[in-house]
Chains A and B, each alone.
Chain A
């Protein structure tokens, strides 16, 4: 084992330390801090891409840590998203907090999420999970006003409940299989088969992780947190912890509990359908953009879980691909809110006539939303296409139908924003001024969504789909 395989984690940790040291010096104005942190994440991303490209597969610390393509793919998405968040927020005022504090907590949470993607046993998984969420509780509270404090408290309390449930499931699983290592659990499971007690173990493990990815019925925190937290924080939370959560779920269920796939696959189907329906239906009647995005992210968790309800490599690759395109679009949408909110507020009605006041931003927002709906030729279409076609291939046509119907429902609320931007007269005419790093990030995401939509093979060949 060479330490170089930990390069991404080491670099992210170094980034966190830099943020910490700079935070000590409280009097300096530092608009450049965002670029430094962003560059750090990009460095980690490059290191990760090298590992992915070289096909490095390694197990470290007695099976507690896995470095492989699955981990590298999720880390890449996570690190890219974090880098974009850091750069986009470089010249944005982060309310009520020192800039360094934000970047410190952000990089610690990113570190946790990258480790979560590589976790190879239950203990490492739990620790990295806590490392991901503890800084995010603080991140949500950063704004230090009533709403953010309330959201942080809810997030924290529910998160603690979820963690407790997870630990309970971990101990059950350990007791029944005699090991915390994923590979040993799998070996023991294929010898002894499933038992009712282990079913309880699986469900409670899933509850702990389902909380991180905001799956129904563990989703309640998401709308409150996405709305209450500062926008830069919310844009990270929509992607970061989810990436770690999905990587961990795939590894835990496919590797450790793989022999019991016929047992848990229907579980994911139920949760997928529940998440799609609850997320989409609740989003229909929202009046603020952020709350709408919160519910829509629950619905997208539902789409993504289709990739687990269908047990096949094709389905899992589709999941990873969809996670990428979802991340790009949802991050973009949050960044639009970040850019527009100071001028137009966050209510959907505030977006009225935005196309007149900020044509570029409106166009970008339309691209993000259409990609979330899944309209060709944008990336979201290809993503949904592969995800639902994996359901059809796996003999679960009904699940694909539910997914498509839900996409239609989602068109109702996404198109409402677009209608406001393009067809409703603006209430004011003041220009929307946006700091350039934020603007550049947004257009980068637009380009990425268009390119992936038109030429998906660029990504798909990397994922071997």
Chain B
């Protein structure tokens, strides 16, 4: 299965082609990148087929040897890889096709597709990495691409700031990842994924390594308290948001934990931390999503919340259920983001309270959005329901009741904000100023929505008890089989319907008086301001760091630069001296040669060991 290297290589090649020849391709750039990603998708499908047939492979080739450290690079294909490849390539393909319509008017069209290709290539490389250093390199590349894409419209200050914020915040996590690798290297002796996972680590080492790795995952997968970059990342083009939120960037963190699962499983502390952070994140983000007005931000907080849920799954030992939720979430969240993009494209606003009644004019978008929304809300029978179900059951069976309660409450809130989002945007009456401009989006945008609606709604079935939990069986790693817990299932159905129903009553029927919750309510303000975390970070972290940097800078510009400039001055003076020795007189040259020989001879005869 060595041909698997083609999967990241094709988008990478597309990046290089567009980088150098992009201007020439111009409006045709997407043919290069879409062609590359579709081919990668085809190869990934074939790999999945082979892996289902029981094959897998690990290929390592030496890359670099630095002193005692031998670094390999390679390609690791197992079931987890095969699933991730499918998720990434399929969502990325649809996002790229969708972008053809969405980005049509953009000046840097070719550069957009170049970045998108590189982003996908980096993520695919990450998923295929057979060595942690290789994985780390791809991980950083993913970070770089997210910087480029979030800040794609860098003329807008908010976009440039958001890009910077995403990069810096995730870098904090990356430091943890790197330190985790150092720990693993000292414990295992090399960083090949296979041998690291096979090694029996001492509990303390496993705890240290897994917590450090988890710090990296927290950055990329936007876990509390490193989640703050993700809502701001909405400043990027909407298809990019879809890609980041569904298939690439945020999935990287969950993937890292899933890939390193044996290390985490060896440490009870680490598992509890993962579950705890997941629970806090899930609940916190879901509550914030309740009061946001920006359609993309609501979805952004929903992503954070769902990632928290995946972490809960990993933390309570429901490995396959967590990866399953990653998969289903990738599809329905991509669908929701692309749907949101379609809405924004047509309504030219992101404030949901300026919209309303859009379903009449945008039937396709509305319907597919409803499918994605119901899947996210955990509507019985749809994807999100089955995957969430697995996580809830695992938490309950394990007896982690606080975590279970948080997850259940998150599900209730999720159903409510999804309902709010849908009813406010698509039902009710349309604003006057909207009527003229609202229209259904072009086919290149609606077609991917329609295509995505199927997996978004139905992919959950392969992991449902109806099909014998086939998905989980495929991935299972040290878990006992799934048991349907009817009580959990009943609760889960109840909260989903309750949340959706309450949202319907509140936002669609007008049965409840408006102004029920005062906007001056302190709790409302707390949520609206996202628990003031940005402010806390600005005052508590950024301000001291900037102050410290200022102080260091004055030291630097005064003392250090002075020393540096002095050295440079001395060096250039010495250079003048040397240059003057070269006057162009051949007699001088010959003389210096001979003198040099004589000096060397005397020096050697005096000092050298004979």
Contact = CB atoms under 8 A, between A and B. Distances in A.
B586 A281 contact: no
A259 B524 CA distance: 85
A399 to B, nearest CB: 16
A158 B589 CA distance: 8
A223 interface: yes
Interface in B578-610: 578-579, 582, 584, 586, 589-590, 592-597, 600-601, 603-605, 607-610
B596 A263 contact: no
A283 interface: yes
B590 A157 contact: yes
Contact of A282 (B582, B600, B605): B582
B395 to A, nearest CB: 45
Contacts of A154: 586, 589
Given A217-B593, A220-B592, A267 B605 contact: no
Interface stretch (B47-55, B305-313, B504-512, B566-574): B566-574
A217 B592 contact: yes
B105 interface: no
Contacts of B63: 455, 457
Nearest to A223: B582
A224 B601 CA distance: 27
Given A283-B575, A285-B579, A409-B571, A194 B610 contact: yes
B64 interface: yes
Query: Which of B67, B575, B579, B597 has the most chain A CB atoms inside 10 A of its CB?
Result: B575
- Give chain B's interface secondary structure class: helix
A223 B575 CA distance: 15
A221 interface: yes
A162 B571 contact: no
Interface residues of B, number: 36
A267 B582 contact: no
A17 interface: no
A199 B571 contact: no
B608 A158 contact: no
A221 B575 contact: no
Contact of B593 (A158, A278, A457): A158
A286 B601 CA distance: 32
B155 interface: no
A216 B62 CA distance: 39
A200 B610 CA distance: 12
B578 A199 contact: no
Contacts of B609: 262-263
A387 to B, nearest CB: 14
Contacts of A284: 571-572, 575
Interface in A50-105: none
Contacts of B607: 266
Nearest to B20: A360
A270 B575 contact: no
Contacts of A4: none
A158 B590 contact: yes
Interface in A213-272: 216-218, 220-221, 223-224, 262-263, 266-267, 270
Contacts of B590: 157-158, 161
Contacts of B572: 284-285, 412
A430 interface: no
B586 A158 contact: yes
A282 B62 contact: no
Contacts of B582: 220, 223, 282
Contacts of B593: 158, 161-162, 165, 207, 211, 217-218, 220
Contacts of A194: 610
Query: Which of B574, B576, B607 has the most chain A CB atoms inside 10 A of its CB?
Result: B574
B297 to A, nearest CB: 38
A285 B576 contact: yes
Nearest to B589: A220
A187 interface: no
A385 B568 CA distance: 24
B578 A278 contact: yes
A263 B571 contact: no
B604 A217 contact: no
Nearest to B572: A284
B75 to A, nearest CB: 15
Contacts of A455: 63
Contact of B608 (A161, A204, A223, A266): A266
Nearest to B586: A154
B140 to A, nearest CB: 12
A196 to B, nearest CB: 6
B578 A203 contact: no
Interface in B538-568: 568
A461 interface: yes
A315 B572 CA distance: 31
Contact of A263 (B568, B575, B576, B608): B608
A347 interface: no
A384 to B, nearest CB: 13
A321 to B, nearest CB: 13
Nearest to B73: A455
Nearest to A220: B589
A199 B610 contact: yes
B600 A389 contact: no
A193 interface: yes
Contacts of B575: 281-285
Contacts of A281: 571, 574-575, 577-579
A108 B220 CA distance: 60
A199 B592 contact: no
Nearest to A215: B596
B610 A263 contact: yes
Contacts of B574: 281
B597 A207 contact: yes
Contacts of A2: none
Contacts of B589: 154, 158, 220-221
Contacts of A161: 590, 593-594
A395 to B, nearest CB: 15
Contact of B596 (A153, A218, A285): A218
Nearest to A455: B63
A211 B572 CA distance: 26
Contacts of B597: 165, 203-204, 207
A267 B604 contact: yes
Contacts of A193: 610
Contacts of A162: 593
Contacts of A153: 586
A199 B579 CA distance: 31
Contacts of A217: 592-593, 595-596
Interface string A283-314: 11110000000000000000000000000000
A199 B601 contact: yes
A227 to B, nearest CB: 11
A165 B598 CA distance: 12
Interface string B57-94: 00001111111000000000000000000000000000
B425 to A, nearest CB: 46
A389 B596 CA distance: 29
A317 to B, nearest CB: 12
A267 B600 contact: yes
A426 interface: no
Contacts of B595: 217
B568 A270 contact: no
A223 B596 CA distance: 19
A283 B572 CA distance: 9
Interface string A24-63: 0000000000000000000000000000000000000000
The 7 A-B residue pairs whose C-beta atoms are closest, nearest first, are: A217-B596, A284-B575, A220-B589, A281-B575, A194-B610, A282-B578, A281-B578
Given A220-B592, A281-B571, A281-B578, 6 more contacts: A154-B586, A199-B605, A266-B607, A266-B608, A270-B600, A282-B575
25 contacts: A158-B589, A158-B593, A165-B593, A196-B610, A199-B601, A199-B610, A204-B597, A207-B593, A207-B597, A211-B593, A224-B584, A266-B604, A278-B578, A281-B574, A281-B575, A281-B577, A284-B571, A284-B575, A285-B575, A285-B576, A385-B66, A412-B572, A457-B64, A457-B65, A461-B62
